[in-house]
Amino acid sequence: MASALHNLSSYDPTTVPDGSEYKIAIIVSEWNEEVTGALLEGAYNTLLKHGVKQENIVVKTVPGSFELVYASARLNNTLEYDAIIAIGCVIRGDTPHFDYICQGTTQGLSEINSEGLTPVIYGLLTCENMQQALDRCGGALGNKGDECAITALKMIANYNDEEI
């Protein structure tokens, strides 16, 4: 759903599972730190709000969004986490670099999700300009980090006891 039609921080708290038994990794890109820092804060605080213990939230940083793929794959292979949230922000510039990074990161995270045992939550903002990013990291359209945290909790609850 287009975020212009739905606030990213809006959800029914009664539908969110208790996270007190979950261990969650958040991988955050340092690139566009003003945006990714706010997304991290949203995800982190939302996890705490829904019972995830502070000691069960592990935050790792990577230099850029493309590196989210490698870090997610490495953490997925450890089987230590119930979910992994990958947070990044790519803003279109004057070269095709935007397209390559967005496509590569999306494809990489998708492959990890289809082949791995731990859900990897897609928290990559792909924006035309900085204002779009700011609107989605706690601005007019809410915080994508909140949405990612809720998605992680729901994915864990839906698939935690299932044999794959």
Point out the residues that are catalytic: 97
Nearest CA to 144 out of 120, 124, 119, 118 is that of: 124
Which residue type is seen at 96? P
| CA geometry: angle 134, 81, 59, nearest 5 deg | 40
Cα gap 37→22, rounded to integer Å: 22
Secondary structure element (H or E) that encloses residue 103, with its range: helix 97-115
Longest distance between any two alpha carbons in the chain, whole Å? 47
